[in-house]
Structure 1
Amino acid sequence: MTDDLQPDLALALRIADAADRVTSSRFRASDLRVDRKPDRTPVTDADVATEDEVRRILAAERPDDAVLGEERGGDTTATRHWIVDPIDGTKNYSRGVPVFATLLALVVDGDPVVGVVSAPALGRRWWAARGRGAFTSDVARGIEAAPLAVSGVADLADAYVSTTDLDYWREIGARDRWIALTEATWESRAFGDFHHHVLVAEGLLDAAVEPGASAWDLAAPAVVVREAGGRLTDFTGADRIDAGEALSTNGALHDTVLGVIRP
């Protein structure tokens, strides 16, 4: 790893440890408070507490860096800024489903360069830094740091693909595009959120399609997918995380999938 990113990755992993302690302590708590934002998406007291803990550590360790968080907002214009989604998969979290994660990324000059995805209830974590590959840990399997690599599937007819809630496709008037993709591929699921992007990075899925996503949903997975050998772009093929949509693939299938889903 380049020396300039080593301290930032180490910090991100330590912050993920702290975030895991907060989210785990409130997961399935009988007094968990669940509210609704103006857009009707849920937010729990754990979301806010986790983001506040991440911000507290960053303020102490990187006082000159800006922070953008899903719950507290922030700045993305600074040369260096961190993007945090305290709980990606809040709907799962609020219902006691263990598929949720804290997402943390460092963005430098507009490019995500460090990413950590930590899912404590699954006993899993995925992380990467630019130019040095992507890795995962798995508590159940006793794995501390295994390298990640995307699949080698090159034929769309053999592809295993995933999306999120079908309502997102309906809202943008593009449900027929997702249906067309499922009909052209071997198998489809709706794993959603962070989970299908890291499954692409692991080589277990070949493509993950997000018709509705924010920068905090995508910054960390983008680093992991790219360092595992894949691609994450918007639906036009541009390398960006702020378009409100994303396609991650093993790379070999990227242009083919774009040909089906792009407007």
Structure 2
Amino acid sequence: MIGWPVADPVIPTVAHPVLAQAAKAASDAFRAARERHDHAQLAEKTAVGADGTASMRLDLLVESAIAEVAEAHRINLLSEEIGFVDRGSAVTLVADPVDGTANAAAGVPLSAFAGALVRDGTPVEALTCWLDTGRCWHAVAGAPAPYRTSGRGELDGAAVSLLRPHPRNREAWWRVTSRAARVRILSTSCLEAMLVAEGSTDAFADAGSDTHRIVDLAAAMVAVPAAGGAVLDVRGRALEIDPDLTRRWSGVVAATPRLAEEIAGAVLG
């Protein structure tokens, strides 16, 4: 069993009730799952998610709690495991219930809930919660966030987080890491994006492996620009709120648009 306590989320009072309730539900379900299940049970793959990959028990338990919030508000839900639940609403909650599930199931305290409210296809508000600590980041599209990126514009000497290298992108991965001053692999895209937003690191990227789904990037698409940064796809593909979770991107989250473009250029060679 994982003995460390799960802190209550510190949710800003200005957060939309749907996001606030979803984050609280995710945190409560995350805490209950860790109290009732051991490492192996949390990590057990018990279903196949909407993106075609296996779902861990922890994913499903937390997602179920978030789904109840969306149902109570009669809005659509787009979530990692269940996929798209269409209630005919103009508003959709796009959620990654537990980003970094493998970390969480193993007891590594690096996982997050990330949610974005999308109105008529456009993300308008986001809330990300670091599940182990309760630390939260909130943002509204078009309004400045209460945190800022580092402002860095150059890859040379930057602190960069990356997804792990794959056989298909090792050269691209090396082109980025060979220029950075510091490289981290934390295995939690949504949390790493918020560390960029608040200036703790300069950038986070998938070096061309096309691993990201839109649920991995939706909250960052609101929060990072609000903090002065940029979110884009390495290959220039539009980041679209698409209910088809088999679609993939190679996201770049950076302190500035200039840095984002420079990382994309390094990946593409």
Instruction: Check whether TM > 0.5.
Output: yes
Q: Describe how 1:130-145 pairs up with structure 2 within 5 A.
A: 130-134=141-145
Query: Which residue does the alignment assign to 2:6?
Result: none
What secondary structure does 2:16 align onto? helix
- Comparing 231-240 with 24-33, greater Cα deviation is found at 24-33
Q: Are residues 8 and 238 of structure 1, via their aligned partners in 2, closer, same or farther at CA, if it must alter by over 3 Å?
A: farther
Distance in 1, Cα, partners of 2:42 & 2:132: 19
Mark the CA change 1:165 to 1:125 in structure 2 (over 3 Å): closer, same or farther.
same
User: How far does residue 236 in structure 1 lie from its aligned partner after superposition?
Assistant: 2.3
| 2:19 corresponds to 1:12 | yes
More relative contact order in 1 or in 2 (CA 8 Å, sep 6+)? 2
Q: How many corresponding residue pairs?
A: 239
Match of 1:253 in 2: 259
Q: Which moved more, 1:85-94 or 1:152-161?
A: 152-161
2:136 corresponding residue in structure 1: 125
Residues 9/155 of structure 1: CA separation in 2 closer, same or farther (3 Å cut): same
Deviation at 1:240, TM superposition (A): 0.7
- For the 8 Å contact 1:42–1:90, the answer to whether it is kept is no
> Structure 2 CA distance, aligned partners of 1:202 and 1:13?
20
Structure 1 counterpart of 2:161 = 162
Against the structure 1 CA distance between its residues 239 and 8, is the aligned structure 2 distance closer, same or farther, given a 3 Å change threshold? farther
Kept in 1, the 8 Å contact 2:34–2:42? The answer is no
How many percent identity over aligned positions? 27
Aligned to 1:73: 83
Distance 1:57 1:162 in 2: 32
The answer on 1:207 being equivalent to 2:214 is: no
The question of whether the paired residues in 2 share the 8 Å contact of 1:27 and 1:96 is answered with no
CA distance in 1, matches of 2:70, 2:53: 29
Given that residues 110 and 186 in structure 2 are in contact (C-alpha distance below 8 angstroms), is that contact kept between their aligned partners in structure 1? no
SS at match of 2:156: helix
* Partner Cα distance (1:117, 1:180) in 2: 30
Report the aligned-residue RMSD: 2.4
Which of 179, 190, 206 aligns to 1:184? It is 179
Consecutive unaligned residues of structure 1, counting only runs of 5 or more, are 1-5, 135-146
Query: Which blocks of at least 5 consecutive residues in structure 2 are unaligned?
Result: 1-12, 241-246
TM-score, normalised via structure 2 length: 0.80
